[in-house]
Amino acid sequence: GTNNHATFKVTQITFLPHTDARFELFWLFPLYTYSCDTLNAAFVFHQYIKKFYNETLIEDFGWTPDENFITVLYSLTVSIFAVGGMIGALLVSRLVTRYGRKGTLVRATVLVFIGGALMGFSRACRMPAMVIIGRFITGVHSGICLSVVPMYLGEVAPKSRRGFLSLIPSIHICLGVFLAQVLGLSELLGKEEYWPLLLSLVVFPTAIQLMLLPWFPESPRYLLIEKGNIHATIAGYKVEVEEMQEEQRSLSSIESVSVWGLLIDRSVRWQVITITVVNIGMQLSGIDAIWFYTNEIFRDAGIPESYIQYTTVGTGAIEVISGMLGCFTIERLGRRPLMIGGFFFMGLCCFGITITALFQVQLPVLRYVSVACVVGIIAGFCIGPAGVPFLITAELFKQSHRPAAYSVAGCLNWLSNFTIGFVFPFLEISMGPYCYLIFCGICLGVALYTFFVIPETRNKTFMEISQMFATNNNIDKEELTSNGHLNLTTMNGYGTLGRH
């Protein structure tokens, strides 16, 4: 610990030649962080779960529900995951400030064990409420991790690898969906008696995370800037210490700002607008509607019912390949091209789905074009819009504002996810295929916003990125620089930590 007048001598500080070996370990890390939303990925289970709800209410409670009530109950089961995600996102700012980035992730794993156990034993206990509560609890965990993991990876990565590492979580989300689709095949766990097992499988990757994560170091920016712990920072990392010093000196306070403080701070006004646009646009792009109605579109295209499950698995494989393509090109192309290209291509494909739906009766060949448009929307989303919004949320804000920014971004993301899931069925009923034109307009709008407003952040320090927004926020760049809090100097192999 430090106080305002303390000075420490750190002996034998040796900065080793730069190596990326430590950062390659983070390939493993996100794989064990996200609990896979198997209920949404394995669509076959909806009939089994509805049957379980119906039989339980009849046999155990002596009440025969109508079809509408069972549908509402199942809709609650699906949507409660997003509600939990919103609550988890709102907790992020306080959790990461108190426990750190790694500490928050370690503590959050207990939620998965509780939620997985509830879902796994729900059928044996004949309690539908256990499924709903379990979904809610795992949703809270996902809401926390979906914000904390990109924040952590963005802070531990050198700026030359920040984009690559920060997009890895989106790949593992795609891998989770793909794995759920494969396990949901009728030859594997896609049978009625196995649905509780598949829903509870989230505990196994979480157990691996719990074994590995304590061996990973804490975020250096959290240790140095927020905790003033130079010993742990030097011992744990070979990072750009000067960059962290520059960021720390720019802060008027090392205390994390609240969500309300973030929203009223004029120095980050356009950064807040930016994360609002990209996170809402990410979910309102129509991707959730496409995932939900993929089977129906494939069925209309004439694909036999018995083969649709394999076609769906194929779309999952395309998600993984597209995510890897974005991950391995982001450091070469930058953030803007992936965002602009991804949203623009999704907009064109949404327009294509409307056209094919209107004229496929007259031109049957358009049914296959509609399948191509579905694949194009999924590929365009996974290349850029699926992961870049979480990356730029880390890059656009300094240490004091970053936790609150992730709370705002995560909450908007989950709220938009819930909204589209709730509203889209009514849009389809009232507008038919024209509803995809709304998604087309949103995608093109976000692409234009990115083109005109969002600067390229590749290979930029957090301070340089903040200065790029200074003009738009009507503040002088000098206001973003030195306020002189924590100063680390090295001399003849020695380091001193002092507050000035």
Tell me the per-residue pLDDT of 410-434, one tens digit each, with 9 for 90 and over: 999 988 888 887 777 778 778 888 8
**Are the C-beta atoms of residues 86 and 422 closer than 8 Å to each other?**
no
What is the predicted pLDDT for the residue at 479? 57
Report residue 496: phi and psi, to 5°: -125, 145
Which amino acid, residue 385?
P
Q: What is the mean pLDDT of the chain?
A: 78
Please give the CATH number for the structural domain made up of 257-476.
1.20.1250.20
Distances, alpha carbon 27 to alpha carbons 80, 125, 165, 292, 434, in Å: 30, 38, 8, 29, 41
Distances, alpha carbon 468 to alpha carbons 277, 331, 453, 454, in Å: 18, 19, 11, 10
| pLDDT mean over 215-241 | 63
What is the predicted pLDDT for the residue at 115? 93
What is the predicted pLDDT for the residue at 438? 92
Segment 332-350, tens digit of pLDDT: 999 999 999 999 999 999 9
Q: What percent of the chain has pLDDT over 90?
A: 24
> Number of C-alpha atoms within 13 angstroms, CB side, residue 87?
12
Confidence of residue 16 (pLDDT cuts 50, 70, 90): very low
**Residues of CATH 1.20.1250.20 domain(s) within the chain?**
24-244, 257-476
| pLDDT mean over 440-469 | 89
Dmax (CA) of the chain: 82
Confidence of residue 280 (pLDDT cuts 50, 70, 90): very high
Which residue is it, tokens 């709102």? 90
* Radius of gyration, CA atoms only, the chain: 24
**Are the C-beta atoms of residues 85 and 111 closer than 8 Å to each other?**
no
Please give the CATH number for the structural domain made up of 24-244.
1.20.1250.20
Cα 48 to Cα 497: distance, rounded to the nearest angstrom: 62
DSSP readout, 435-478?
A: HHHHHHHHHHHHHHHHHHTPPP-TT--HHHHHHHTTTTTT--GG
Confidence of residue 59 (pLDDT cuts 50, 70, 90): confident
What is the predicted pLDDT for the residue at 249? 60
Least confidently predicted of 175-184, 326-335, 337-346, 433-442: 175-184
Cα 293 to Cα 439: distance, rounded to the nearest angstrom: 14
